[in-house]
Amino acid sequence: MKAVADALDGEIPVTAKIRLGFSDRRLAVACAQATEAGGAARLVVHGRTRDEGYRPPAHWEWIAKIRHRVSLPVVANGDIWTLEDYWKARTLSGCHDVMLGRSALADPWLAPRIRHWQRTGERLADTTWAMRASVLKQYAHRQRQQLPKKVVVSLVKQWLAQMRQGNAEANLHFQLVKRITDLDTLLESLVVSTGITEPA
């Protein structure tokens, strides 16, 4: 951290992201303090250890312990999949900001929904399958300009696999297209009706 911060000499703010530790959380605060001492301007904390991987729950309360022991801005990360998760993460961590990771891939409209809720107190409707399919098709269109079709097929399937998290219709579409190898066939299949009625 110090080597990067020194090399940039304040021209570009250096940020860092850490977990709560490798196998346990005993050094979480010390690691955060070392990051700050090294020159980090902002610190994102994923509320789990490396050994915990992505298994719920994220320990947002531990992020609060770190936030109280450093002076740089701290950003909460981990298990923020819904508006309720966002509010709980902010409440338990005390952080003003959060970072979305896998959830931003699972639902590309989660961040705009959070922002709308922040500004108005109103909940936007859940992301529809048509919205998800549209972003996948736009992504494929951009990628196919530079990459072989078979690579784009793989990339679209990878993103669709992320969208399966908590979404029955995305999961069903993934099952329908996972063996398709032709890009155009894959993209056409994304608009096929699954018969699932989405919540209003």
Residue 198 has pLDDT above 80, yes or no: no
Q: Which domain holds residue 171?
A: 129-189
Does residue 149 lie within any of the structural domains?
yes
Instruction: Report pLDDT digits (tens) over 119-134.
Output: 999 999 999 999 999 9
**What pLDDT score does 192 carry?**
78
For the beta carbon of residue 25, count every other beta carbon within 10 angstroms: 19
Q: 77 with 174, same domain?
A: no
Instruction: Report pLDDT digits (tens) over 62-77.
Output: 999 999 999 999 999 9
Q: Fill in the amino acid letter for 46.
A: H
| Residue 165 pLDDT class (50, 70, 90 cuts) | confident
Does residue 198 lie within any of the structural domains?
no
Instruction: Report pLDDT digits (tens) over 106-119.
Output: 999 999 999 999 99
Q: 23 with 111, same domain?
A: yes
**What pLDDT score does 183 carry?**
97
Residue 194 has pLDDT above 50, yes or no: yes
Q: Fill in the amino acid letter for 60.
A: W
Instruction: Report pLDDT digits (tens) over 52-61.
Output: 999 999 999 9
Q: 91 with 17, same domain?
A: yes
Q: Which residues contact 111 (CB under 8 A, 6 or more apart)?
A: 100, 104
Q: 15 with 88, same domain?
A: yes
Give the domain-ending residue among 77, 103, 120. Answer: 120
What is the pTM for the complete model shown? Answer: 0.88
**What pLDDT score does 199 carry?**
47
Residue 191 has pLDDT above 90, yes or no: no
Q: How far apart are CA 63 and CA 29, in angstroms?
A: 9
Task: Tell the burial category of 155 from Cβ atoms under 10 Å away from its Cβ (0-12, 13-18, 19+).
Answer: middle
Q: How far apart are CA 190 and CA 192, in angstroms?
A: 6
Under 8 Å between Cβ of 45 and 74: yes
| Residue 149 pLDDT class (50, 70, 90 cuts) | very high
* Cβ burial 93-111 (10 Å sphere, 16+ → b, else e): bebeebbbeebebbbbbbe
Residue 196 has pLDDT above 60, yes or no: no
